[in-house]
Amino acid sequence: MRIMVLAAVLAGIIQGGAVDAAAADAASAVARLAEQIGSLLPADGQVRIVVSDFDDGQGATTDLSRYLADLLIIQLGRTPRFLPIERRHLRIILDQLALRSSDLRRLGEARQVASQFHADVVLLNGLADAGAQVAVDTRVLDVATGAMLGFASAGVTKDAKVQRMLETGHQ
């Protein structure tokens, strides 16, 4: 049921339909993240990108974590030079390698997963409950060099819907 609700909200965003304030705020925050990420990546050529779920620093994810990752994939995919990997494909590889999204924080695992997709970059995403807002951040990892290319951050206003998404779907 939750997957159907998330899919409906994503479809509304993709189609440009009316969405509620929480979804609009999340979409705006993710658009800011995508813009910051884009400024950190090479301006020429295509960049294949692995997008991790937004975890809480302890490796736990929620419905909000996965929703934000989906929004980021959609936002990055709107730019022809970015080729983001779909979450379902990432999940298959992580399951095959017996890894979690949070394991991508280790360079060896990030490289192992990225090599499966011939990816150039892994986005290490996190979120933190910061009271009235949920802070979302991304570290941009160049898997070839192991260098952190930079960081991006934004905030999502925590209303009742965002709070509910934070509390549901724990993995």
Q: Other CB atoms closer than 10 Å to residue 132's CB: what's the count?
A: 9
Domains contained in the chain, CATH given: 2-167 (3.40.50.10610)
Rounded Cα–Cα distance for residues 47 and 43 (Å): 9
Which of 96, 113, 95 shows the shortest CA–CA distance to 104? 113
Rounded Cα–Cα distance for residues 20 and 25 (Å): 9
DSSP state of 171: -
Full-model pTM: 0.84
pLDDT tens series, the chain, 171 aa: 444 444 444 444 444 433 456 667 999 999 999 999 999 998 889 999 999 999 988 888 999 999 999 999 999 999 999 999 999 999 999 999 999 988 999 999 999 999 999 999 999 999 999 989 999 999 999 999 999 999 999 999 999 999 999 998 887
3-class secondary-structure state, position 114: helix
